[in-house]
Copies of this chain bind each other. A is one copy, B any other.
Amino acid sequence: MESKPFFRFLFFFFAIAFLLLFTWTHLPYAPPPNVTTLLDCASNSPWCTSKNRFQSKQPSITKIPRATATTRPRHESAAPRHPVDPLTIQEFNKVRTILSSHALFKSSKNYALHSVVLEEPDKDLVLQWTKGQPLFPRIASVIARANGESHVLTVNLETNEVNVLNTAPPTGYPMMTIEDMTSATWAPLSNAKFNRTIIERGVNLDDVACLPISLGWFGENEENRRLIKVQCYSMKDTANFYMRPIEGLTVLLDLDTKEVVEISDTGRAIPVPKATNTDYRYSEQKIQQELNLINPISIEQPKGPSFVIEDEHLVKWANWEFHLKPDPRAGVVVSRAKVRDPDSGVMRDVMYKGFTSELFVPYMDPTDAWYFKTYMDAGEYGFGLQAMPLDPLNDCPRNAYYMDGVFAAGDGVPYVRSNMICVFESYTGDIGWRHSESPITGMEIKEVRPKVTLVVRMAASVANYDYIVDWEFQTDGLIRIKVGLSGILMVKGTTYENMNQVEAQEHLFGTLLSENVIGVIHDHYITFYLDMDTDGSDNSFVKVNIQRQDTSPGESPRKSYLKAVRNVAKTEKDAQVQLKLYDPSEFHVINPTKKTRVGNPVGYKVVPGGSAASLLDHEDPPQRRGAFTNNQIWVTPYNKSEQWAGGLFVYQSQGEDTLAVWSDRDRSIENKDIVLWYTLGFHHIPCQEDFPIMPTVSSSFDLKPVNFFESNPILRIPPNVEKDLPVCKPAGSA
């Protein structure tokens, strides 16, 4: 009994040691002789499994919409065509070559590139650029660790010039590389005490799966070194190891050296929950016939979709046009969104740039193994890095177009994340607008227009949780930004098997979901950066406050009514908005210099939704770091360096570089180029339906034209008529 695990451990230990050694020796930085080899990925990048590695032939699962003018070129030969196009494979390789001979990295035995993305040209240049003009010099923005220091640099791809900037904030570290995360999950297994503990818990070492858990920041003894906590699970008899925590066992690890700093074990008395009913894979289900009751259903467009994607990134659909690109940190970046004016035919600016800036996911359990779980998924893990290839027909409907991401691994080698974003038209059967005349008036009128929208989607799997982010464009000018939460809960082991053993439910810090399994209460905040350019860059933020006005005696049979009072925000503090149900406002971003025919300023409003607010103590360390959730809405003057709501270096940061800090500078924001920030919030008290995998919960907010158009912009769209609709047959009968 005792010897077998020991041999297994020995074998394992040497296997890991060999792997580490192999990895180490494979960190040279001269580019391999040809691009294709490069794209086969360095063996040290786990992203480069056979599934993720670049395929020079078209991936068979990707269906190119029939009407799309362009077909996807081979990534090796892709060239930028728009000023904000992402770096290409050739550009990534050039960055890698240039940096490998730079003093900073040449002298470093162990460096890593934590982020390599395009340094976008200045906004005014991009705004002036039109198709056909030459591109601006392409510059890469690089965040790297070398010799134990973080560096922010730019690499000019025309001049080969490297510029080392002194913009690293006082605290915090760059986003982890995938290699950081992967090596952290293996590192504990090289610690004998850890392995002993695992075995004592009755888990075989070869059944252990570990997760790298960012540890936030909680004071001095966690400063000045890059740390991570690792917790582990048993994956015996289930793919859903998340439901089998080895509770209370936390390994504190140095991320740079992979040294185990501390092992805390507070869960010896807690059994590892059973695997029963935890697997969610279709192949593992005992299928009951009656659950399969839905006949095939599909959104069909036999004449093809109505959008085209020009030059790989420019999406044109109905009255919309925008630039779309994958980003390792933000996921999806929408730029230069413009909508066509139905009267003039002119494309009018709506939003210069919009993306998921940061997430904040604090768990609500103050005990040793849980207090630190206060994830900031974009700045710590890379929201785009975690966006897995979408599953055609299930993640997106049949008519979807798929866009790949091209990112750099920690060693600078580019790799392709295929099918990372999908674009499709959605038709739910909903109504764009309608009116029937009542027979009271004697008029026979029934005018109804269907609603068709364009959805841009990605789905990030940040370990257990899955975030689905949709940008939905409507022909009436509305943009809906929706976040769906699915995936798997982060659960806690417990000795309890039934609520009748529990004295007070609050002491669970959550809900008993199954025997020995607690779903811990947590919040989700997703903060969006929205650089609105409402019909031009200089805008003002106006709170249109809905106030009760009491009438004077004798003025009216009414005692009260509501009036709208407009307040233009002069400075940032005027625009720090906590939503109030009983003192409501609309929130407009207007162009004060442009008016409609009858004199209203043209505008867009943010229509809140998913407005759960963070209720933690503002001085609580996680809330200081997540202070960008102190308000649902903020407005800042445009500043190229203020894009990441939790700060540029979020990992272990202390909160000195957040949106809250910037906004407290209280700069002028009236009739200026301004950025709107909106935070979608969710409180999540888990319930048994979330076990073993959660049905999707969604919330959304809207950006909606308000006196932007002279009148209803979809007045003239045609109704559906039978003769235009497709003729379909069941599969197999054609």
A439-B46 in contact given A427-B297, A564-B521 (Cβ < 8 Å): yes
A708 within 8 A of B: yes
Contact yes or no, B288 A716, CB < 8 A: yes
Which residue of B468, B497, B564 is within 8 Å of A506 (Cβ)?
B564
Contact (Cβ within 8 A) A715 B285: yes
Do the beta carbons of A285 and B716 come within 8 Å of each other?
yes
A715 CA to B688 CA in the complex, in Å? 12
Interchain CB contact under 8 A, B303 and A295: yes
Q: Which residue of B lies closest to A184 (CB)?
A: B440
List residues of A (338-393) whose CB comes within 8 Å of B's CBs: 340, 342, 345, 362, 364-367, 371-372, 386, 388-389, 391, 393
A690 to B428, CA, bound (A): 22
A716 lies within 8 A of B291 (CB): yes
Mark interface residues in A700-723 (1 if CB within 8 Å of B CB, else 0).
000001111111111111111111
Assuming the A-B contacts A716-B285, A730-B726, are A394 and B448 also in contact, with contact meaning beta carbons closer than 8 angstroms in the complex? yes
The answer to whether A725 has its CB under 8 Å from any CB of chain B is: yes
Contacts of A581 in B (CB 8 A): 578-581, 611-613
- A490 partner residues in chain B, CB cutoff 8 A: none
Q: Which candidate, A106-114, A140-148, A552-560, is the interface stretch facing chain B?
A: A552-560
Other-chain contact of A689, B298, B447, B579, B707 (Cβ < 8 Å): B707
Q: Which of B282, B430, B444, B687 contacts A696 (CB 8 A)?
A: B430
Binds B, one of A20-28, A96-104, A511-519, A634-642: A511-519
A463:B434 contact, CB within 8 angstroms:
no
Known: A280-B435, A438-B386, A598-B514. A394 touches B613 (CB 8 A): no
Question: Which one of A127-135, A150-158, A614-622 contacts B?
Answer: A614-622
Task: List the B residue with the shortest CB-CB distance to A607.
Answer: B697
Q: Is A74 at the interface (CB under 8 A from chain B)?
A: no
**Is A600 within 8 A of B512, CB to CB?**
yes
Beta-carbon contact of B724 and A296 below 8 Å? yes
Task: For residue A248, give the distance in angstroms from its CB to the closest CB of chain B.
Answer: 15
Are A298 and B696 in contact (CB-based, < 8 A)?
no
Chain B nearest CB from A488 CB (Å) reads 6
Q: Is A647 an interface residue (CB 8 A)?
A: no
Contact A294 B425 (CB under 8 A): yes
**A579-622 interface (Cβ within 8 A of B):** 579-582, 584, 586, 595-600, 609, 611-613, 615-617, 619-622
Instruction: Say yes or no: is A73 at the interface (Cβ < 8 Å to chain B).
Output: no
Interface hits, A459-487 → B, CB 8 Å: 459, 461-464, 466, 468, 475-478, 484, 486-487
Q: Which residues of B contact A694 (CB under 8 A)?
A: 433, 712
A566 to B, closest residue via Cβ: B505
Query: In the complex, which residue of chain B has the Cβ closest to the Cβ of A709?
Result: B689
Say if the beta carbon of A275 comes within 8 Å of chain B: no
Inside 8 A of A436's CB, which chain B residues have their CB? 388-389, 391, 459, 461, 466
Shortest Cβ distance from A547 into B: residue: B615
Q: Which residues of B contact A729 (CB under 8 A)?
A: 302, 726-728
Interface pair A282/B690, CB less than 8 Å apart: no
A512 to B599, CA, bound (A): 8
* CB–CB A433/B486 < 8 A: yes
Most B CB contacts (10 A, CB to CB) among A304, A306, A424 go to: A306
Q: Check: A695 CB closer than 8 A to any chain B CB.
A: yes
- Asked if B511 and A683 sit within 8 Å, CB to CB, the answer is no
Partner of A615 from the list B287, B293, B562 (CB cut-off 8 Å) is B562
Q: Does the CB pair A282–B562 fall under 8 Å?
A: no
Determine if A671 is an interface residue (Cβ-Cβ < 8 Å).
no
With A305-B295, A712-B694 already in contact, the answer to whether A619 and B559 are too (CB < 8 A) is yes
Pick 7 A–B contacts, CB within 8 A, sort by A: A46-B439, A294-B475, A298-B301, A498-B599, A500-B599, A513-B598, A728-B729
Given contacts A365-B561, A395-B434, A433-B487, 4 further A-B contacts (CB under 8 A): A291-B319, A434-B468, A513-B598, A688-B707
Top 9 nearest A-B pairs (CB, nearest first) are A499-B599, A366-B556, A394-B448, A397-B429, A388-B436, A218-B557, A559-B620, A560-B617, A727-B734
